[in-house]
Amino acid sequence: MNITRRQFGEFEQVLLYAVLSLQREEGGANGPAIRKLIEKRTGRLVSPGAIYTALTRLEDRGYVSSELGEPTAERGGKRKRLYEMRAAGQAALRSAEANLARMAGLARARN
């Protein structure tokens, strides 16, 4: 069995799922939308600082990319930073899912 070292933690994995879920929706995957989705789906309160720190880390690793969107009136002409999943991020999620499935299967087989 080929086991690779863990590439990200649970919080970063949740962030990747949120980016993947939101990137095609109107407004895209921006910090406030990601935070709202995580809080809604997990019940976990997340600070904006934690979101942006982890997104920067994921971007540095090549799992997500970001760009500034168009200026919006509701933000006083400021532009939102929009995040998008990259192929490396999708591959990392698939690998993490496969590793968890193998471990869950092992645990179930032994109980």
Q: Which domains does the chain have, with CATH numbers?
A: 10-110 (1.10.10.10)
Average pLDDT value over all residues in the chain: 88
The residues pairing with 67 across neighbouring beta strands, listed in sequence order, are 82
| Predicted pLDDT at 93 | 93
Taking residues 1-17, report their average pLDDT: 73
Per the model's pLDDT, the better-predicted residue between 15 and 3 turns out to be 15
Position 2 scores a pLDDT of: 43
What pLDDT is attached to residue 1?
A: 41
Specify the pLDDT at position 111.
63
Q: Between β-strands 64-71 and 29-30, what pairing exists: parallel, antiparallel or unpaired?
A: unpaired
State the pTM of this model.
0.82
67 three-state secondary structure: strand
